[in-house]
Amino acid sequence: MDPVRRFVEVFETIGTRPALTATAQDDNCATLPPFSGEIAFGPWWVPGEVEE
């Protein structure tokens, strides 16, 4: 999770390597593993401009 750049990435281990399985950004609502319900990410972000 990067609250300044406003994104979250979810990885899982496939074999012996990490693999990106899901992402969410900005004010998206998403169901990300291992959770079964939708999560609103907007309230988690740092107020102000998004860094590039």
| pLDDT greater at residue 50 or residue 36 | 36
Q: What is the model's pLDDT at position 2?
A: 83
- In sequence order, what are the residues at sequence separation of 6 or more whose Cβ sits closer than 8 angstroms to the Cβ of residue 25? 6, 7, 8, 41
* Reported confidence tier of residue 47, pLDDT bands at 50, 70, 90: confident
Compute the mean pLDDT over every residue in the chain, rounded to the nearest whole number: 85
> Residue 9's pLDDT is what?
92
What is the pTM assigned to this prediction? 0.69
pLDDT of residue 7: 87
Neighbouring C-beta atoms of residue 7, cutoff 10 Å:
16
